[in-house]
Amino acid sequence: MIDLRSDTVTRPTAAMRQAMFAAEVGDDVYGEDPTVNRLEAVAAERLGKEAALFLPSGTMANQVAIRCHTQPGDEVILEAGAHPFHYEAGAAAMISGVLLRLLPGVDGALDPAQVQAAFRGPDVHVAPQTLVCVEDTSNRGGGTPWSLAALDQVAAVAHAAGAATHMDGARLWNAVVATGVPADRRARGYDTVAFCLSKGLGAPVGSLLCGPAALIGRARRVRKALGGGMRQAGFLAAAGLYALDHHVERLALDHARAADLAAGLRGLGLAPSPAPTNMVYVEVEDAPATVEALRARGVLCNAVGPSRLRLVTHLDIDDEDVAAAVDAFRQVRGG
Ligand code: TLP
């Protein structure tokens, strides 16, 4: 099967498994896992933040951040396609008791003036607007990296209004490779940044939440409360350290393959999204039926709407897989 459903489906490479096997471990709830401690230090350093916390998932990293930045009854401002609204099972309401205020974006990015206009000032009628979240790259925005100017300006507008800022950088490394702008620079205006090891970087599990030491200390307690305190997690952290050392630059290959896939689909008369990183979205007449027809031809992808498909390239997809996927589309379209 050629699995283009997500970059979450990768399995650890042989070299990554070796690194996991050799990991030195301890009980991380006691803070005694040397490999987790090293991963947290490396993550904080690369993001230009004081501290970092290793968590089981991107969802937990976002939710711990929201919990640490807000009080129940607060309002969180995000773009309308944001992951915490679409795909985190209502957790922001369940765990933090916050309102999510969705603003329409372009390719997943918000206009700073629009964020400015969303702040309604101190008024007894208004929920305290204490957090603005951005997603870089934007998943439902086509895998598009934000412009640096928009990242900086949205952060500045939020801070001027007294709100904190959080970046969901699940695919931050894709944005870094696609734009050439370093991670710590993209993240500069953001109080906290979450990034995933288990997507394009190809690790089996894990995300890092990076930010000020005092907040990360509180985040450690929230992680424990949510059942995310792991014990000999160094086996997983070792995969993450390996991924940060060996799997960042190669994301350019995934991006080139997504562009090839989009070009192939264009050649069949379809109108795919531009694929600036590792995602291709394409409109078809009947998305669920197309998913089934492609599956029958050995290609997996996700329907993300009645007529919209998402295809994602990653570590386990090579050039032949891309060519075979285009061919499967050709067959399904009766070409
Ligand atoms: N996204 C998954 C699904 O949940 C949709 C995927 O296949 O793309 N932020 C962003 C922007 C994400 O895309 C994801 C995962 C997460 C956070 C959550 O990460 P996990 O899956 O580790 O909880």
For 26-67, write each residue's pLDDT tens digit.
Answer: 999 999 999 999 999 999 999 999 999 999 999 999 999 999
Spell out the SS3 assignment of the chain.
Answer: CEECCCHHHCCCCHHHHHHHHCCCCCCHHHCCCHHHHHHHHHHHHHHCCCEEEEECCHHHHHHHHHHHHCCCCCEEEEECCCHHHHCCCCHHHHHHCCEEEEECCECCECCHHHHHHHCCCCCCCCCCEEEEEEECCECCCCCECCCHHHHHHHHHHHHHCCCEEEEEECCHHHHHHHHCCCHHHHCCCCCEEEEECCCCCCCCCCEEEEECHHHHHHHHHHHHHCCCCCCCCHHHHHHHHHHHHHCCCCHHHHHHHHHHHHHHHHHCCCCCCCCCCCEEEEECCCHHHHHHHHHHCCEECEEEECCEEEEECCCCCCHHHHHHHHHHHHHHCCC
Q: Tell how strand 51-55 and strand 207-211 pair up.
A: antiparallel
For range 293-304, the mean pLDDT: 98
pLDDT band at 104 (very low <50, low <70, confident <90, very high): very high
Q: Where are the domains of the chain?
A: 14-245, 250-332
Domain 14-245 matches domain 250-332 at the CATH topology level: no
Of ligand 1's listed atoms, the one at least distance from the Cα of 6 is 7
Please check whether residue 274 is in contact with residue 252, taking contact to mean a CB–CB distance below 8 angstroms. no
Any ligand 1 atom below 6 A from CB of 243:
no
The predicted structure's pLDDT at residue 334: 84
φ, ψ for residue 215 (rounded to 5)?
Answer: -65, -40
For residue range 150-177, what is the model confidence (pLDDT) as tens digits?
999 999 999 999 999 999 999 999 999 9
Cβ of 58 below 6 Å from ligand 1: yes
Residue 227: CB atoms within 10 A of its CB come to 9
Cβ of residue 137 lying under 6 Å from some atom of ligand 1: no
Pocket test for ligand 1, best of 10, 168, 192, 196 (most atoms within 8 A of CB): 196
Q: What angle do CA 28, 189, 165 make, to 5 degrees?
A: 65
23-37 residue pLDDT tens: 999 999 999 999 999
**pLDDT above 90 (res 121):** no
For residue 87 and ligand 1, the question of a CB distance below 6 A is answered with: yes
pLDDT of 335 strictly over 80? no
**Hey, what amino acid is at 1?**
M
* Crossing angle for the helix pair 34-47 and 234-246, to the nearest 10 degrees: 40
Among 4, 8, 9, which residue has the most ligand 1 atoms within 8 Å of its CB, making it the best to mutate?
A: 8
Residue 59 in tokens: 């969802």
Tokens describing residue 235: 């086996």
* 14-245 has CATH 3.40.640.10 classification: yes
The overall pTM is greater than 0.95? yes
Query: What is the topology classification, in CATH, of domain 250-332?
Result: Aspartate Aminotransferase, domain 1 (3.90.1150)
pLDDT digits (tens, 9 = 90+) for 228-265: 999 999 999 999 999 999 999 999 999 999 999 999 99
